[in-house]
Amino acid sequence: MAEPRSDFAHVFDAPPPGAAADWTIPQGWDAYTEVEHRTWVTLYERQMKVLPSRACDPFLRGLDALDLHGSGIPDFARINEALQRLTGWTVVAVPGLVPDDVFFDHLANRRFPAGQFIRTPEQLDYIQEPDVFHDVFGHVPMLTDPTFADYMQAYGRGGQRAAGLGRLQNLARLYWYTVEFGLMETPQGLRIYGAGIVSSNTESVFALEDASPNRLGFDLVRVMRTLYRIDDFQQIYFVIPSLDHLLAETTKDFAPVYAALEGAEDLPIETVLPTDQVFTRGTQAYARRGGRFAV
């Protein structure tokens, strides 16, 4: 969820042939081709040129702990031995995006559904559908962090509840601006923890260094009111002071939060409010030029 789900080749209305009722499939690791493994290695090596000084420590530690080094698409069974031991999470293979309720149920049970397929060599720089590189390289390292691991499980439970309350749209924005595109304040400066950023070579640099986007302090209700774009670099990033803060803010009861959102208007992405904590007031030059990656 929280990721777009139209026009995509890997979106299905019901579990496709070969998938279980919970939409999982065998990873079929032996069937990946040489070209597919090489695509992983290329993507991995490009990220290691940009991430050591930009990704947060929990992410970099997670990469090491899972031994995701660039020898090819990892075997989920091997990742799961370490991941299960560290935080009780496992990675399960799915054919593509799964319905919200299925997604939430996996998260609530500490299972992360990861796309089984990998992008083609022509799609190295951009793919809207989450493939195995985005899902495993981008998301799974953070799941080795005990606090983030708890956050993701709580999010799954929160999703089930938000669905019942008709507030999924607000909760999806929380996912977008934390799990996918979150930044973190550290003594060394801003660092990336969002999977959508760490799995993108160009956005890894843009998110931290470009003058265009706004970088604002994380505020739960503010984030849940903020629209987002799925087709280009973000125009706004939210900065958390720590993972502990994120977990503390989100484990509180959202019923009053949802009630407060009832009458609140959605905020356009370029908005900066007088109440925002501003790390960077962006020029929005990139978006005004028309965007789409010519940084």
- List of residues contacting Fe ion (CB under 5 A): 130, 195
The DSSP output letter for 144 is: G
Residue 250 interacting with ligand PHE (CB under 6 A):
yes
Give the sign of the dihedral formed by CA 95, CA 49, CA 55, CA 62: positive
Report the site for ligand PHE in 174-203 (rule: CB under 6 A). Answer: 174
Which of 231, 253, 262, 265 forms a contact with ligand PHE (CB under 6 A)? 253
Q: Phi first, then psi: what are they for 117, rounded to 5°?
A: -85, 160
Q: Which is nearer to ligand PHE, 160 or 202 (CB)?
A: 160
**What is the β-pairing status of strands 214-217 and 236-240?**
parallel
Residue 116 interacting with ligand PHE (CB under 6 A):
no
Give the C-alpha separation, 32 to 27, whole Å. Answer: 9
Which of 161, 201, 260, 291 forms a contact with ligand PHE (CB under 6 A)? 161
End-to-end CA distance of the chain, in Å?
29
Residue 169 interacting with ligand PHE (CB under 6 A):
no
Give the C-alpha separation, 223 to 3, whole Å. Answer: 16
The stretch near ligand PHE (CB under 6 A) out of 37-45, 88-96, 101-109, 151-159 is 151-159
Q: Which is nearer to ligand PHE, 174 or 287 (CB)?
A: 174
Give the C-alpha separation, 282 to 37, whole Å. Answer: 38
Which of 40, 176, 181, 254 forms a contact with ligand PHE (CB under 6 A)? 254
| DSSP assignments along 211-279, one per residue | SSSEEEE--HHHHHHB---SSSS-SEEEEES-HHHHHHHHHS-SHHHHHHHTTPPPBPTT---TTS-EE
Which of 133, 155, 233, 238 forms a contact with ligand PHE (CB under 6 A)? 155
In a 13 Å sphere around the CA of 116, the CA atoms on its Cβ side amount to 22
The stretch near ligand PHE (CB under 6 A) out of 58-66, 131-139, 185-193, 252-260 is 252-260
Residue 158 interacting with ligand PHE (CB under 6 A):
yes
Q: Which is nearer to ligand PHE, 88 or 121 (CB)?
A: 88
Residues that bind ligand PHE (CB under 6 A): 151, 154-155, 158, 161, 174, 250-254
